[in-house]
Amino acid sequence: MRIISLVNQKGGVGKTTCTINIGAALARLGKRVLLIDLDPQSSMTTALGAKGASPTVYDALRGSCALSDALLVHGRYVLLPSSIDLSAAEQELAGVAGRECVLREAIAESLGQYDYILIDCPPSLSLLTLNALVASGEVLIALQTEYLALEGMTQLLATIDLVRKRLNASLSLSGIIATQYDARKGLHNEVVATIAEAFPGALFKTRVRSNIALAEATSYALDIFEYKPKCNGAADFAALAREIAAQEERLE
């Protein structure tokens, strides 16, 4: 069983797109997958057609419902939806003892039921993201192959280190995903080369190419395999999921 947070405090880099489609691809490999939307923007919830769902992860975090009561089935995988209410959780949790461990406790009852739990984080290093990192065994960083992609990485890695030291010694960085990649753009190749050099071995071989179908799929409330199984986006996420699944052997 692997619990993986998709993080980057930079907005719009592809965290949600990666969470949905890696999850969908892993489910197609026969894995039992739970996707947790931990972002008050609720992009993943909306993208999977569950906007307005209730109860949500917020209720589960507050303990006002059991986690299992908030789960929704989408095709071959399960979604724990979010809502804008979750923005209140930051403040409500601030004064609580063990405030970074609330998500870990909330999901504890469900652990045996999944092979993969993927957590889509908000674009911040907030208390919600800390909760995700404490609940996780692994982190995946989504990185757009654009100018300034590396900006913010130092702060992100320092946060991961701090969580490892103080809250969750078993947290490891499982990889960096290059997203919205365009091989024809010199800049994208430069950025990929820079990342590969700065973080040896961390970058997945599969790069998620820029593909409009990935954006379109969300407006139909479909993952890429349901929407256009033959497009580049589907091929990239299938390959990426195979790379991620292959890490299982290394972890054992």
Q: Tokens 């654009």 appear where? A: 146
Among 5, 42, 43, 145, binds Mg ion (CB under 5 A): 43
Q: Which is nearer to ligand ATP, 215 or 251 (CB)?
A: 215
Among 22, 23, 34, 39, the residue binding ligand ATP under the rule CB under 6 A is 39
- x/- track of binding to Mg ion for residues 116-155 (CB under 5 A): ----------------------------------------
**63 touching ligand ATP, by CB under 6 A:** no
CB contact set of 1 (below 8 Å; sequence gap of 6+): 111, 112, 114, 115, 116, 117
Enter the tokens of residue 165: 């030291």
- Residue count of the chain: 252
Give the three-class secondary structure for 34: strand
User: Which H helix or E strand runs over 174?
Assistant: strand 172-179
Give the shortest CB-13-to-ligand ATP separation in angstroms: 4
Partner that binds at residue 36, options Mg ion, ligand ATP, none, CB closer than 5 to 8 Å by kind = none
Count other C-beta atoms under 10 Å from residue 250's C-beta.
Answer: 7
Q: Which of 93, 121, 144 is nearest to 35 (CA)?
A: 121
CA–CA separation, 91 and 30 (whole Å): 39
CB 117 within 8 A of CB 140: no
Of Mg ion, ligand ATP, none, which one sits near residue 211, judging by CB under 5 to 8 A according to partner kind?
ligand ATP
User: CB-wise, 123 or 137, nearer to ligand ATP?
Assistant: 123
Please tell me whether residue 214 binds ligand ATP under the rule CB under 6 A: yes
Instruction: Note whether 15 binds Mg ion by CB under 5 A.
Output: yes
Stretch that binds ligand ATP, among 29-37, 127-135, 152-160, 208-216 (CB under 6 A): 208-216
Half-sphere exposure at residue 48, Cβ-oriented, CA atoms within 13 angstroms: 30
Stretch that binds ligand ATP, among 6-14, 64-72, 101-109, 193-201 (CB under 6 A): 6-14
CA 43 to CA 69: how far, in whole Å?
A: 21
- From candidates 36, 211, 224, 228, binder to ligand ATP by CB under 6 A: 211
Closer to Mg ion by Cβ: residue 9 or 108: 9
Does the footprint of ligand ATP cover residue 17 (CB under 6 A)?
yes
| Dist. CA 72–CA 60, nearest whole Å | 13
Distance between CA atoms of residues 91 and 14, nearest Å: 27
**Nearest residue to 156 via CA among 116, 177, 187, 126:** 126
For the record, the structure tokens of 50 come out as 């569950």
Q: How far is the CB of 20 from ligand ATP (least distance, A)?
A: 8
The answer to the question of residue 16 lying near Mg ion (CB under 5 A) is: yes
**Closest separation between CB of residue 109 and ligand ATP, Å?**
27
Residues in touch with ligand ATP (CB under 6 A): 11-17, 39, 41, 43, 123, 142, 179-180, 208, 210-212, 214-215, 218
